[in-house]
């Protein structure tokens, strides 16, 4: 919930919301059966209700209110307020933020495992600590053979109210809720009158060669059109109709941990966030900052999982 609270705070300040591309918006989750009939989903809903999210509401009337086709099979739903992030705008804002705090950005390629070049890199840049946030490249830079991609794709359509009623809420049926494949319904408005239509998850697919005519993309569009019939008339974004990318997963869990293979190393790792990078962002950043402090203080590195939850948390909203 760390990132949720910080994004919510950012969105609550109009000028900062506009500058960062972050706003809070209703986010609706739909289910093909009564939630209580699915122990996993029931437990997840209870956890969400207790987490402190804003605007939680549960009711099947959400289905009709959002114009979901009754024949699609959604029978239960709940809603909460969630941060919707224009990621292109937010990345520009974050870049400017760290530069304003004195960061110097350098773009180059590193081919070796970081423990092989740690000393040289630290000497070259005058760095006390190296933080590895290289996502999929941690397969090589951290020697982590469990790292793998999950390819995703999204269709971008114009969401200005001209061709279909403007959608002002995110709508989702996840694969686990539908007990189906990894092809889901995922509709998310962007802050620039663009609606993202998705989605797909293809593990271990490295190539970014999808097109609008790819069978999995055609099925994705058909699935979403069936779920929300008004989308059949949606106009593609002429400048950027299809977005695709690789989500950086790993075999076990997100890795936020100091380097363990070399005694005395001052490398801190933060990778494997999959499709949850924005959701985990500030929470992982706090943990990284704590690990950096430990490395500088000469505290021996320990594996993930030993540290009590919440220990050493930093307050970071005031510095934004």
Residue 156 marked ligand-binding:
no
Helix or strand or coil: residue 93? helix
CA 80 – CA 166 distance, rounded (Å) = 19
HSE-CB at 166 with a 13 A cutoff on CA atoms is 10
The better pLDDT of the pair 191, 36 is held by: 36
- What mean pLDDT do residues 10-21 have? 97
53 token code pair = 């999210």
Residue 59 marked ligand-binding:
no
Whole-number percent of the chain with pLDDT over 70: 93
Q: Count the Cβ atoms, other than its own, within 10 Å of residue 183.
A: 17
Judge whether residue 181 has pLDDT over 80: no
CA 152 – CA 166 distance, rounded (Å) = 25
User: How much is the pLDDT for 312?
Assistant: 44
Closest by CA to 296, choosing from 251, 265, 263, 260, is: 265
Domains in the chain, start-ordered, CATH in brackets?
2-88+148-249 (3.30.9.10), 106-147+252-319 (3.40.50.720)
* Averaged confidence pLDDT in the chain: 92
Tell me the pLDDT band of 16, cut-offs 50, 70 and 90: very high
CA angle 274, 16, 159 (to 5 degrees): 65
CA 303 – CA 253 distance, rounded (Å) = 13
Could you tell me if 275 and 135 are in contact, meaning their C-beta atoms sit under 8 angstroms apart?
no
β-pairing verdict for 57-58 and 76-85: antiparallel
CA 209 – CA 71 distance, rounded (Å) = 33
- What mean pLDDT do residues 118-144 have? 98
Closest by CA to 197, choosing from 244, 160, 162, 150, is: 244
Residue 122 marked ligand-binding:
no
109 token code pair = 């390629």
Judge whether residue 136 has pLDDT over 90: yes
pLDDT in tens, 96-111: 999 999 999 999 999 9
CA angle 10, 13, 17 (to 5 degrees): 60
β-pairing verdict for 22-31 and 76-85: antiparallel
User: How much is the pLDDT for 311?
Assistant: 44
DSSP 194: E
């Amino acid at each position: 919930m760390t990132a949720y609270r910080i994004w919510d705070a950012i969105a609550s300040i109009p000028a900062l919301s506009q500058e960062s591309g972050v706003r809070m918006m209703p986010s609706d989750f739909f289910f093909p059966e009564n939630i209580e009939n699915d122990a996993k989903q029931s437990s997840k809903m209870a956890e969400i209700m207790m987490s402190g999210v804003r605007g939680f509401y549960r009711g099947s009337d959400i289905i009709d209110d959002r114009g979901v086709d009754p024949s699609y099979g959604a029978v239960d739903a709940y809603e909460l307020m969630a941060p919707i992030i224009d990621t292109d705008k937010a990345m520009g804002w974050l870049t400017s933020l760290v530069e304003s705090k004195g960061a110097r950005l350098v773009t180059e390629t590193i081919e070796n495992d970081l423990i092989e070049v740690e000393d040289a890199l630290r000497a070259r840049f005058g760095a006390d600590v190296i933080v590895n946030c290289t996502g999929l490249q941690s397969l090589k830079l951290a020697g982590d053979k469990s790292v793998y991609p999950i390819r995703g794709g999204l269709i971008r359509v114009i969401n200005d109210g001209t061709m279909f009623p403007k959608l002002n809420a995110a709508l989702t049926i996840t694969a686990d809720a539908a007990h189906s494949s990894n092809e889901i319904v995922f509709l998310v408005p962007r802050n620039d009158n663009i609606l993202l239509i998705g989605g797909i998850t293809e593990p271990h697919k490295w190539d970014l060669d999808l097109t609008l005519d790819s069978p999995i993309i055609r099925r994705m569009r058909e699935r979403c059109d069936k779920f929300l019939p008004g989308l059949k008339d949606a106009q593609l974004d002429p400048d950027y109709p299809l977005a695709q990318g690789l989500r950086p997963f790993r075999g076990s869990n997100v890795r936020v941990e100091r380097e363990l293979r070399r005694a005395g190393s001052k490398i801190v790792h933060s990778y494997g966030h999959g499709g949850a990078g924005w959701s985990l962002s500030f929470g992982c950043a706090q943990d990284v900052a704590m690990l950096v402090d430990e490395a500088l203080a000469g505290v021996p590195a320990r594996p993930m999982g030993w540290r009590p939850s919440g220990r050493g948390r930093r307050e970071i909203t005031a510095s934004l």
